[in-house]
Structure 1
Amino acid sequence: MNTTESAVQDLFKEVMSCVATPVSIVTVMSDGDLPFGATVSAFSSLSIDPAMLLIALDRRSKTLEVIRESGRFGLNVLGADQDDLAMAFAAKGGVDKFYGTSWSVDCGLPRIAHAPAWIASTVVDLVDGGDHVIVLGRVDAAESTGDKAPLVYYRRSFGTHLPHYEPV
Structure 2
Amino acid sequence: MTQFGSGVTVPVTADDSGRSWGFTASAFCSVALDPPLVLVCPARSAESYNAFVNSRRFAIHILGSDQSDVAMRFAEKRTDKFEEGRWRQAADGLPALDGALARVSCVTHAVHDGGDHAILIGRVVHAEVDEAAGAPLLYFRRRFLDPVAS
TM-score (norm 2): 0.91
- Give the CA deviation at 1:95: 2.7
Question: Unpaired runs of 5+ in structure 1?
Answer: 1-15, 163-168
Equivalent position to 1:160, from 137, 146, 149: 146
Q: Which runs of 4+ in 1 moved over 6 A?
A: none
The number of residue pairs the alignment matches comes to 146
Match of 2:21 in 1: 36
Distance 1:63 1:111 in 2: 17
- Give the CA deviation at 1:52: 0.5
Aligned residues of 2:63 and 2:137 also touching (Cα < 8 A): yes
| Percent of pairs with identical residues | 36
Distance 2:46 2:142 in 1: 21
Distance 1:150 1:23 in 2: 8
Question: Alignment RMSD, CA only?
Answer: 1.3
Match of 1:110 in 2: 95
Are 2:107 and 1:125 aligned?
no
TM-score (norm 1): 0.82
Equivalent position to 1:148, from 134, 143, 147: 134
Q: Choose between structure 1 and 2: higher helix proportion.
A: 1
The structure, 1 or 2, with the larger RCO (C-alpha pairs under 8 Å, 6+ apart) is 2
Question: Unpaired runs of 5+ in structure 2?
Answer: none
Q: Which protein has the larger Cα radius of gyration, Structure 1 or Structure 2?
A: 1
Distance 2:48 2:63 in 1: 18
The SS at the match of 2:48 is helix
Are 2:73 and 1:88 aligned?
yes
Specify the code of the residue in structure 2 equivalent to 1:114: G
- Give the CA deviation at 1:101: 2.5
- Give the CA deviation at 1:50: 0.5
Are 2:52 and 1:67 aligned?
yes
Aligned residues of 1:27 and 1:63 also touching (Cα < 8 A): no
Match of 2:6 in 1: 21
Distance 2:107 2:47 in 1: 18
Which range moves more in the overlay, 75-84 or 30-39?
30-39
Are 2:69 and 1:98 aligned?
no
Distance 1:143 1:99 in 2: 22
